[in-house]
Amino acid sequence: MMRKYRDPESEIDHRTPQPSSRELDAVKRALAVRWNAMPAASGFKRWVDQLARARRSVEQPELAEGCAKDLETKFSIWSLVGQGVVFEHEDGDEACEFLSLTARAAQMSYVEIPAHEVVSTFEDWRSLMSPETPTLLHLQAGDWINEHAPLDDEALFTHEPVHDSSAAAIFRQSLVRAMAEDLQGKPVVLVVAVSKSDKLADEFRTSRQFCRLVSLPAAESRTHGQAFLALCEDLPWDTSVHESPADVGAVVRSLSMNQRLQLFDALRHTAWREDRPLTQRDLLECKLFGMRPAEPDSVEPLSRWRTAVHEAGHVLMEFLASGGTSIAAFCSILDHGEAMGVVVPMHDHPKQLSQGERTYGDLLQELQVCLAGRAAEHMLLGPLEISATGSTSDLERAGRLANKMIGRRGLPVSDASNAAMSVNLLVIFGAASDCEIERQSSLARQLLQDQYLIVLEELRRYESLLTQLASRLEQERVLTHKELEAILRPFSGAP
């Protein structure tokens, strides 16, 4: 069956050509790096080992011993492994490749049903649930898995035609019956890959057919960087790039496997055109601008300076609010799209990794970084020259965070005194009443106002550093992690 690859930027449902053998080898190298970086005790690796064990038992049932042998005489080993699996992942393309790798490692056949064919061709692929050889059957996730909540972009593997909710509901019931009737004792494992397990419909939960949850472990930036360099092994890289795989990972970790292959294409064109080894700056520019030629004059000078000031504000506030421990992975001025600039944090910084252990201070720091772009424009350009639209997404994010801090987390507007810490301890349960919404909005607005003034004052203290950052960004268009570090670390007034 032909693999269907996802184009996350396209609204058109289409099949892309099969990758070349060179690309397949490159993807295998990247996956090998990810695989080797996973702990041996990870749930994913244990699942692969158990599938391989079940596969061996088909030909050598005498290998089982002790309690395992006793259980295997009473139950099918495939039911013990789990024949309905929910596979949690961060990236759909990578999940597809890892499931294919899993099947090869367990010496099982691998069949992948594209999302838009799962419902319409059910009767055709149902026969695969009674295979002659052990099979891993991957049903690509689509709207069919849950009629109550639309899937987010991470869970979609394809852009499907108009969704028929009644047909999907009938299909889910049919699939549950088929799994109960057809899978018993058969060497087949059905897998549905989604970004979060709660995407699965109630029919699947209550039927107990999808009884196993397996997660693909998240990788550190260093591992993402090493995997990408393995993917691009044939390209000429400057030695400094190989010395800093975490910096490479910070750039590529948000990209799907398909997007990484597109980035690989842009990089090889750059290496050929420039006739020199590739640098971290080349990697950033290819990610941000693809194979489009650099056109620094395509942005009006005032708009370019305003964007540079805005992004420099974010970078500087992250550095200051973290006590000098966090420096962005990169920042850039863009000459296309709605966003005029971008700042990407180093994801392996503790503040980025430990979401479940974040403190009130961490949330205030995030709030201050969100507000710093507008505050930097206010300070260096004046109130009348701030962008009318450039801070919209920042302010939306800050507003959501402030409302959550007040309404759902019971955090104070100010941490100045014990009395302030005790003002907002009653959190909102369930749907908020009009009175609760009004109170929450009032406190959240006060929190944003107080933090904005704090940010403005902090940036004023380091105005020369902010100006230096903005000027360099305006000139260079892209600043790498090392370039930002060189500007921020030596500054005598910084932490």
* Residue-wise pLDDT tens digits, 396-416: 998 888 888 887 676 767 765
pTM: 0.69
The larger pLDDT score, comparing residue 75 to residue 490, is at 490
Residue whose structure tokens are 């930036």: 221
pLDDT surpasses 80 at 95: yes
Q: Give the C-alpha separation, 312 to 143, whole Å.
A: 41
Report the half-sphere exposure of 425 (CA within 13 A, side-chain side): 6
Whether residue 388 is predicted with pLDDT greater than 70 in this model: the reply is yes
Tokens of 471: 């000027």
Q: What is the pLDDT of residue 277?
A: 94
Residue 347: both structure tokens together? 């994801």
Query: What is the distance between the alpha carbons of residues 326 and 351, in angstroms, rounded to a whole number?
Result: 9
pLDDT digits (tens, 9 = 90+) for 166-193: 777 888 888 888 888 777 778 888 898 8
Q: Which domains does the chain have, with CATH numbers?
A: 38-215 (3.40.50.300), 234-289 (no CATH), 297-488 (1.20.58.760)
pLDDT the model gives residue 285: 86
d(CA 201, CA 184) in angstroms, rounded, equals 22
310-329: average pLDDT: 90
333-348 burial, b at 16+ Cβ within 10 Å, e below that, comes to: bbbeeeebbbbbbbbb
| 3-state SS, residue 428 | coil
Average confidence (pLDDT) over 415-422 = 60
Average pLDDT over residues 133-150: 76
Percent over 90 (pLDDT), the chain: 20
- Least confident interval from 203-217, 288-302, 354-368: 288-302
Going by C-beta distance under 8 Å and a sequence separation of 6 or more, which residues neighbour residue 21? none
CA atoms of 453 and 372, how far apart (whole Å): 10
First to last CA, the chain: 58
pLDDT at position 336 is: 56
- Of 31, 93, 38, give the one whose Cα is nearest residue 228: 31
pLDDT, residue 89, reads 83
Which of 127-136, 194-203, 346-355, 445-454 ranks highest by mean pLDDT?
A: 445-454
- 437-457: pLDDT as tens digits: 777 788 888 889 989 999 999
pLDDT exceeds 50 at position 102: yes
Span 196-210, pLDDT tens digits: 777 777 777 777 778
pLDDT of 469 reads 94
Q: Which of the pair, 299 or 358, is modelled with greater confidence? A: 358
Average pLDDT estimate for 68-96: 71
Q: What is the mean pLDDT of residues 97-109?
A: 87
Tokens matching residue 338: 């709605």
> Based on the number of CB atoms within 10 Å of its own CB, is 45 exposed (0-12), middle (13-18) or buried (19 or more)?
middle
Q: Stretch 90-95: mean pLDDT, rounded?
A: 76
306: phi then psi, degrees, rounded to nearest 5: -60, -45
User: Taking the CB of residue 459, how many other CB atoms lie within 10 A of it?
Assistant: 22
pLDDT at residue 104 in the model? 87
- As a dihedral over the C-alpha atoms of residue 351, residue 249, residue 92, residue 282, rounded to 10 degrees, the angle is 130
Asked if the model's pLDDT at residue 348 lies above 60, the reply is no
Helix H or strand E segment including 112: strand 109-113
Residue 4 has pLDDT above 50, yes or no: no
Pick from 144, 495, 120, 70: nearest CA to 318 = 495
* For helices 360-381 and 301-321, angle between their N-to-C axes, nearest 10 degrees: 150
Inform me whether the pLDDT recorded for 292 exceeds 80. Answer: no
DSSP 390: T
